[in-house]
Structure 1
Amino acid sequence: MKLIKNANLLYDNKLIKKNLVIENGKLKKITSQIDNKITEVIDAKNNLVTPGLVDVHVHFREPGQVHKETIKTGSEAAAHGGFTTVGAMPNVIPVPDNVEKFEHQVKLNERSKVKIVQYAPVTLDEISDQLSPIEKLSNAGAFAFSNDGHGIANAKTMFDAMERISQLNSHLAAHVEDQNLFNKGVINSGKTATRLGLPAIQRVAETSQLARDLLLAKETGVHYHVCHISTKDSVELIRIAKDAGINVSCEVTPHHLLLSDEDILTDDANFKMNPPLRSETDREALIAGVLDGTIDMIATDHAPHAKDEKNKGFLKSAFGITGIETSFPLMYTLFVQSGLMNVERLISLMSTRPAKIFNLNAGTIEIGKTADLSIIDLNDEYFFNKSDFLSKGLNTPFTGADWKVSGRIKQTYVNGEKIY
């Protein structure tokens, strides 16, 4: 048996000082005593002990793009960030759009240090109008369905997918983007795009497809989850939909909460992501949506790229930002230390809520349940250093003297075993 002593434990949404006893990978006891049967003692040193963080939106790039990331490096980065369960998007090469390819992906995922739940694509190759074999993929272990990286343009395709996914009591996670309105843009429409002379992405590329999908979700009853929302109108649409009883949830990324297009001073593609950084008004609306509960969870959209794919300016560089190693410290520093929320609420957004909404065996510290835990020193102040990252991707704007953070992940445990 293992003992984690001197834990400032987040348990039942309250902070308590206790010891945790772990046996056979599960939490056996929460106690003030130290049992004489203990074989290993871990001193948490009065640091915060939380349920392992849960990220329902990551890209680990394997197979097909292992120069960007591998399951090994991505999962090591996740553990470094305090995450113990992640949802891997299916935009790998090849897309796992049949049972054989999906089962191969699941086999590859066994290389992970953390627990990976695997998305299956909604349509074949993610870009066609032909639905994937949804029922067979669900039986093969798909926890949810998404064409992340691609909006589903055809309303009939989306409606049929929603009906079938609803019948399975599964989840449809949508990247809402009308390609025609996106119009090969690389940056948000506004003053920054004009100043830099770059082709712009209109907000309605997101919101028009979202409005359509919410009505389809109302008709089908599917659990419709909106990935990485970025605009004020998206927040308002989801708020209205929830009030109307539509089965919708949504996520927002740390970068959309912390940055706007006003922060883009030069043609630096570390600020290029999809959806793009929006206006300060949009950013403020996203923060309000988090605080009032319209936005259900934080997800990183961890999207690593090789250095030479991100150093060519906005026009020629890839979309995407890494995030799984920086998300908790950023959110803790900018949201909890600033007084916008307490740490219990932050852990709910980054662990408990995503696990509950997606019916995952994660996100709680509970006797008899798997011991997936993170130990976090909330008082450790530091700057992000790219040499410390375990991800292959170093594409982030959050390094440098402007981003002093608190909240260092000290240890991460999966099934009671230390993985970081």
Structure 2
Amino acid sequence: MILIKQGRLINPKTKRDEVVDIVIKEDKIYKIGNFEQTDEYEYIIDARGLVISPGLIDVHVHFRDPGFTYKEDILTGANSAQKGGFTTVVCMANTNPIVDNEETLNYIKEKSKLADINVLQAAAITKGFNGKELVDMKKLKEAGVLGFTDDGLPIMNSKLIMDAMVIAKELDVVLSFHEEDPNLVENPGINEGEVSKKLGIEGAISVAEDVMVARDCMLALKTGAKINIQHISSKVAIDMVRLAKSLGANIYAEASPHHFSLTEKDVLKFGTNAKMNPPLRTEEDRNKIIEALKDDTIEIIATDHAPHSQDEKDREFVNAPSGIIGLETSLALGITNLVKKGHISIMKLLEKMTIKPAELYNLDSGNIQEGSLADLVIFNMDEEWVVKDFASKATNSPFIGETLHGKVKYTICNGKVVYKDEN
């Protein structure tokens, strides 16, 4: 058994916030209360001054396995996640081959059994990401898929999207959408604006996101399907989501830490390590994201962890791939840029990183109570640390060298300590 002594338990599902002891037996939370240290415990964690939270859940990661394992693989991705305090992640389908069939899904499921955390999988909405023909959603759900997304590519066929939503509603699964109309994007990864003009690059105008979000919000309203607007970045798109929710649509939205932490001006400082889809936008957009996190228009924080090799990121800006890694900095960026600056409470931050992601995918996790699975993260909210030495294979992060608040000390998944901070 494991005894965690005198930690500040913050459980967003029940709004519990108090100093307690927690006993873990096998893979479950056995008891919560006050207990003496005895020889019956194999492991005792002194959590005085630390926060105990449900294990973090990330609904948007790219582990590049199969097909691109020089960037990341399921096991290194899992190591990166557990160092960041995550006990559950949902991988996107843009692997090679694409996850639109049971064979590829089964490969991922088998390899994921070797990971120390829960590595779950979303499948493609359309076969081969071609945007023309739906996958067999019922069959793939029965095989273990949690939801569907063509993340990385928008789906332009509105009738196809509506058909997918009707099926998703029947199956009670979520559809997640990457919202950028490619016809309105000259060069992806950089906002069309002040900085792109300075660099002489035609970029991605924000209306490319707005029109797609508006369409999918209205289709969700019509069908009643549950959808997720991925990595929202535009102030107008946020207003679209807010309007659709007020009309009764079952819509979730996620924000990535880089979109509430950085702006297009950071491209000048970090170069290709600040290139991502959708791009970093203006300070006004960033502030609108923060406001939407405060009023719960945006319920979820998700990293869009997107590893690339150094050689790939060292290319000329327009030729470099979009995306940054984010699992090891996500919690600290939330604490540093949202909690410490007074935008949201630590309770609300953890809600957006635990119970709300669990709710999106109908997961029985994100909660701490007697009898629940022992998936926990223990962290020091006030400890400062410098970003370096990633567990990921990749290092494509604009936050290297930054001093952040909030250090993960332990990650516990299924009752086992899978990460311990040795520094």
Question: Normalising TM by the smaller chain, what interval?
Answer: over 0.9
Cα deviations by residue, 1:286-342 (Å, 9 ceiling, x for unpaired): 111111111011000000100001011311110001100001111101111111121
Judged with a 3 Å threshold, the aligned counterparts in structure 2 of structure 1 residues 267 and 287 are, in CA distance, closer, same or farther, namely closer
Amino acid in structure 2 at the alignment position of 1:45: R
* Structure-2 residue corresponding to 1:393: 394
Residue 313 (structure 1) aligns with: 316
Instruction: Decide whether the 8 Å contact of 1:267 with 1:313 is kept in 2.
Output: no
Q: Say whether 1:211 aligns with 2:214.
A: yes
Alpha-carbon distance in structure 2 between the residues aligned to 1:93 and 1:342: 40
Partner of 1:3 in structure 2?
3
Bigger shift: residues 222-231 or 94-103: 94-103
Is the contact between residue 154 and residue 180 of structure 2 (CA under 8 Å) also seen in structure 1?
yes
Distance in 2 (alpha carbons) for counterparts of 1:105 and 1:394 = 24
- Asked whether the 8 Å contact 1:329–1:407 carries over to 2, the reply is yes
What TM-score, normalized to structure 1?
0.96
* Residue in structure 1 matched with residue 15 of structure 2 by the alignment: 13
Task: Spell out, residue by residue over 1:338-359, the C-alpha distance to the aligned partner (whole angstroms, 9 max, x if none).
Answer: 1112111111111121112321
Q: What is the alpha-carbon distance in structure 2 between the residues aligned to residue 334 and residue 100 of structure 1? A: 42
In 1, distance between residues paired with 2:189 and 2:233?
15
Structure 1 SS opposite 2:372? coil
Give 1:14's aligned amino acid: R
CA contact (8 A) 2:335 2:346 kept: yes
What is aligned with 1:405? 404
Once the two structures are TM-superposed, the CA of residue 186 in structure 1 deviates from its matched residue by 3.8
Amino acid at match of 2:336: T
Indicate the SS of the match to 1:245: coil
1:93 Cα deviation from its structure 2 partner: 0.6
Structure 1 residue 418 corresponds to structure 2 residue 422: no
Determine helix, strand or coil for the equivalent of 2:45.
Answer: strand
Corresponding residue for 2:62? 59
Displacement of 1:46 in angstroms is 3.0
CA shift, 1:74, in A, is 0.5
Q: How many angstroms does 1:281 deviate by?
A: 1.1
CA distance in 1 between partners of 2:183 and 2:174 (Å): 26
Counterpart CA distance in 1 for 2:85 and 2:369 is 18
Q: How big is each residue's C-alpha offset from its partner over 1:77-120, in whole Å with a ceiling of 9 and x where there is no partner?
A: 00000000111001111012122222222222223221012101
What 5-or-longer segments of structure 2 have no aligned partner? none
**Does the 8 A contact of 1:267 with 1:314 survive in 2?**
no
* 1:240 match: 243
Q: Aligned ranges for residues 200-349 of structure 1 at < 5 Å?
A: 200-265=203-268, 268-349=271-352
The amino acid of 2:414's aligned partner reads: N
Letter in 2 for 1:13: K
Cα distance, 1:40 vs structure 2 = 2.9
Pick one of 374, 384, 404 that aligns with 2:377.
374
Q: Which secondary structure does the structure 2 equivalent of 1:137 belong to?
A: helix
Cα 1:346/1:267, change in 2 over 3 Å: closer
Q: Select the residue among 30, 33, 58 that pairs with 2:32.
A: 30
Cα distance in structure 1, aligned partners of 2:270 and 2:73: 28
Q: 1:35 offset after TM fit, Å? A: 6.7
> Could you say if the C-alpha distance between residues 318 and 237 of structure 1 is closer, same or farther in structure 2, counting changes exceeding 3 Å?
same
Partner SS state of residue 398, structure 1: coil
Instruction: Report SS of the residue matched to 1:74.
Output: helix
Gaps of 5+ in 1: none
Question: Is residue 186–residue 198 contact of structure 1 (8 Å, CA) maintained in 2?
Answer: no
After the TM superposition, list the runs of 4 or more consecutive aligned residues in structure 1 that deviate by more than 4 angstroms: none
Structure 1 counterpart SS, 2:165? helix
User: 2:188·2:279 contact (CA, 8 Å) conserved in 1?
Assistant: no
Residue 181 of structure 1 pairs with residue 180 of structure 2: no
Match for residue 85 of structure 1 among 83, 88, 93: 88
Match of 2:167, SS? Answer: helix
Amino acid in the other structure paired with 1:315? V
> TM-score, normalised on structure 2?
0.96
Contact 1:196 1:266 in 2 (8 A): no
Give the counterpart of 2:103 among 100, 124, 139. 100
Deviations 1:3-32 (A, max 9, x none): 111212114323211110111210010011
Tell me how far apart the structure 1 counterparts of residues 275 and 42 of structure 2 sit (CA, whole Å). Answer: 49
Once the 2 structures are TM-superposed, how far is the Cα of residue 266 of structure 1 from its aligned partner?
Answer: 5.1
> Matches of 2:43 and 2:204 in 1, distance apart?
55
Sequence identity of aligned pairs in percent? 39
What is the alpha-carbon distance in structure 2 between the residues aligned to residue 107 and residue 29 of structure 1?
33
What is the Cα deviation at residue 267 of structure 1? 7.4
Tell me if 1:76 matches 2:79.
yes
Aligned-partner Cα distance in 1 for 2:91–2:398: 23
Q: Report the Cα offset of residue 44 of structure 1.
A: 1.9
**Residue matched to 1:199:** 202
Q: 1:3 to 1:185 in 2, by over 3 A?
A: closer
Structure 1 range deviating more: 73-82 or 350-359:
350-359
AA in 1 matched with 2:371: G
